[in-house]
Structure 1
Amino acid sequence: MTRKSPQPGSTPLPAGLAAPARRSLAHAGVETLEHLVQLGRRRLAGMHGICPRTLAQLEDALDERGLELPAG
């Protein structure tokens, strides 16, 4: 079951992400799915700990919320 966001614009990152990915995202200041959208696919894919599986998990979470990861 998906968690509902307490406030619009503050959708948490999905549970189950690997620790290296979580640390890398935290280091980049990404705490929510909305922050992730601002980051963009190219920068996200180049980050340490972001493997194809993690990228797929994040894209699935974005899809559930009606968000899309831009190419940049």
Structure 2
Amino acid sequence: MAPKSNWPGHTPLPKGLSAPARRALAHEGLETLEQLAEFGEQRVAALHGMGPKVMAQLLEAMEEAGIAFTS
């Protein structure tokens, strides 16, 4: 479950992501669920370390936060 943020647009990434996934997201400057949504599902899925488990974690966290990929 993604922690709720007190600041709109600043919902942090869920805890428990694998180290390769965290590094890949950090390399792209992706630190919030809102940034992921704008980056796009296909682009996120293509990053190193983004296997089915990580994508499921991200999608679940986004759904809980009411956020969806824009493309």
TM-score for the superposition, normalised by structure 1: 0.91
Indicate the percent of aligned positions where both proteins have the same amino acid: 52
Q: Which runs of 5+ in 1 are unaligned?
A: none
Does 1 or 2 have the higher relative contact order (CA < 8 Å, sep 6+)? Answer: 2
Residue 30 (str. 1) matches residue 30 (str. 2): yes
Structural RMSD (CA): 1.3
1:4 to partner: Cα distance: 2.2
Report if the CA contact (8 A) 2:3-2:14 is conserved.
no
* 1:5-52 superposed Cα distances (whole Å, 9 cap, x missing partner): 021110000000000000000000100000000110110111000001
Aligned partner letter, 1:22: R
- The separation in 2 between residues aligned to 1:46 and 1:34, in whole angstroms, is 18
Give the 3 Å change call, closer, same or farther, for CA 28–6 of structure 1 in structure 2: same
Q: Does 1:18 align with 2:39?
A: no
For structure 2, which runs of at least 5 residues remain unmatched after alignment? none
Offset, 1:2: 5.0
- If the length of structure 2 is used for normalisation, what is the TM-score? 0.92
What residue in structure 1 maps to residue 45 of structure 2? 45
Q: What does residue 9 of structure 2 align with?
A: 9
